[in-house]
Structure 1
Amino acid sequence: MVARVVTVAFDGVEARRVDVEVQLIGADGPTIFNIVGLPDKAVAESKERVRGAFAGIGLALPAKRIIANLAPADLPKEGSHFDLPIALALMAAMGVIAPDALDGWAAIGELGLDGQIARVGGALPAAVAADAMGLGLICPETTGPEAAWAGGARILAPRSLISLVNHFKGTQVLRAPEPGPLADGKAVPDLREVKGQESAKRALEIAAAGGHNLLFIGPPGSGKSMMAQRLPGLLPPLTSQELLETSMVWSVAGLIERGALTRDRPFRSPHHSASMAALTGGGLRAKPGEASLAHNGVLFLDELPEYSAQALDSLRAPLETGEIVVARANAHIRYPARFQLVAAMNPCRCGMGGAGRGACGKAPRCQRDYQNRVSGPMFDRIDLTVETPPVTAADMALPPPAEGTAEARARVATARAMQED
């Protein structure tokens, strides 16, 4: 007898179907547990977590050869979320639960040694994929509110393996989880707090209206970062489609807490020491990078020339195509990365540039060498370049501006509506 349970493997934000097949072979003898089908280290270790979880609920593995096949066998399998489907298929093969009880369900989840089902990333795209296959999804209790955002998908979110077994036996009923809250985002600082820099604020408003990439060039203390942090407050909230796209990226990255989503646009500000993999994605499990986490939002690069040339140039293609492809020997993983780039830099490495008090004594060579650290093709992808002169004491003595974020956001909404007509 072969017991089968459906699960998924993540290919970027896409969840691809994987069938977990478990077969018990041979008469009584030593227990041998093998997992085949291109598993990575985390998947190969599932057999020990399953063994421990079974012991935690009073079950012992059968004294037979156990083969767990993850089909299709040529698709790489990564992550600990294969624990639960392997355990369910094994219990069906052992007769602990009826094999037909798993019909119509897909499953993801990591098992603890006490039988608890631990949180895993990707519950939302897994639920969307399961619904597209006409299946429900079994996921950890902590990710149930997140998976419930997938529209009409059937969701079971048990806390432990024993509660799930009791549900299938009819001695306990698990309620379908409710979608998590649509939370308010963090308070966005107001543009009224910025004194002076009227030209830069006007450029910020134009960039928000047209989705333009923007670069501020000015000495330290001129308000470059301050204005960039106020850009999300000028942008309209995410549409329903954008909310789903953005949330799926964050779900794969494991950044959604208790299923709480927000319509605020993402604002990501990586440090200038960030590597190419940190910006564009990659690493051992090809997680989404900062550019993908800023999908439908803003990516802010402060001290632009201080980023490595390799990291900056890796953003050139995403700025054109709106997606990132992480190339590997056996797969190409795609992540969406349609973001608005805002950058800031000093005019030279010394900071002040070639004019005014504290001017650089190496100008203009210092400025030229510093700005040449950013490639020409990268500069070509920046639509607006704005100089921010030093803020004077007279500027600071001025009363707060009459208009702030609310007024500018209304004008941006009007401009965007005119573009859509």
Structure 2
Amino acid sequence: MRTLLRLATAGSVDDGKSTLVGRLLYDSKSVLADQFDAVERVSRDRGLASADLALLTDGLRSEREQGITIDVAYRYFATAERSFILADCPGHVQYTRNTVTGASTADVVVLLVDVRHGIQEQTRRHLAVASLLRVPHVIVVVNKIDLVDFDEETYNRVSDEVLESARSLGLYDVATIPVSALDGDNVVDRSDRTPWYDGPSLLAYLEQLSPVGSPQSEPLRFPVQLVIRPQSAAGDEFRDYRGYAGQIASGLVRVGDAVTVQPSGRTSTVTGIDFAGKELAEAFAPQSVTLRLADDIDISRGDLLVTSRSVPPVTQDIDGTITWLAEGALVPGTKVLLKHGTKTVQAMVKGIGGKLDLDNARLLPAESLGLNDIGHVTLRLAAPIPAEEYIHARGTGAFLLIDAQDGGTLAAGMVGDALLDTKAAVEAIGETTVLV
């Protein structure tokens, strides 16, 4: 059975992300004939002598007209070894919010660096996002190696610079690969033009990555999305049904399990699991199911059902790490909406603990956060929520800050501040291997 790997590509503008993805799709024979014909037509219209493989991922017309990627483009492909869901993220600084979106569910981030320019501010920003989101694996593709005549010394210099920056941000599961996305060197097949490189090609490395930790092995976390109470009469029979529908964020649940409702703290027992008209004995993440409980207790949308063996704390004060995604600045006293799972509560920014300096990976004092800043904030909530640190619970440790006036997303946040403390982040990751 083929395993599934979710990957996101990122990098600075013109580092060749879309070309790399196009080459990956084309050389792995994951492109339909009509798709390639369309790319060839557009390429000819632009006056190009050959097909621009970048167009295989630039799905929006405005992207093609401008020659840039301005949104997250998702693609699906498979090899004999593994299935892939790929998110091609934009490179412009103002679209860092899209990179956060693409990387938030990724098992691996493929980060491109132009070998001629080395590490850039946006490179550090994307590494910081990968650390912030606890992405399990990072692959740094040192691209355009053909433009420096496949020089080993130049590659090693850029690779060392990237790895040093990654380590400063608490990223230790990092690999670097010399690549020419335009010509296909070390993308799908090993290149004979880099005899000094003895590692795998990009695709081979993606195929051999060990599976990430399954959310099924974590404690049960089930955000209630909808309370189902249909009533039906058939002859003398009358049935009053009460079920709680949602998607299992982590863990598994079985009939007979003891569960606790947060934030109320009430307890009950699972008496039934309904899925697509069938009754199940057990269900696991990320299935969407309806749970029935033994007791008629007050449960509504936004509540969290958890295993009684592992109950998260409830609080109205949150210390969090956020990526600020709005044009206006965030200052103390700002009132926002906080969305945690299926629950939305009013919140106020009590304070800003600082913002991340991408040059030295340190938290610097700050009175406000601007567009794309990564910083630490303290929030006061109008109602309690079961808050777990993101470093321990990726599924339920995340939240969004929303504009109460227009409903726009202001920030992506993670409960806890350990991700801005390099030592704590490294200790949380544990011993890993740097692959070069």
With normalisation by structure 1, the TM-score equals 0.25
Q: Per residue, is there more helix in 1 or in 2? A: 1
Return the structure number with greater relative CO, CA threshold 8 A, min gap 6.
Answer: 1
Q: Per residue, is there more strand in 1 or in 2? A: 2
With normalisation by structure 2, the TM-score equals 0.24
Whichever of the two has the greater Rg, that structure is 1
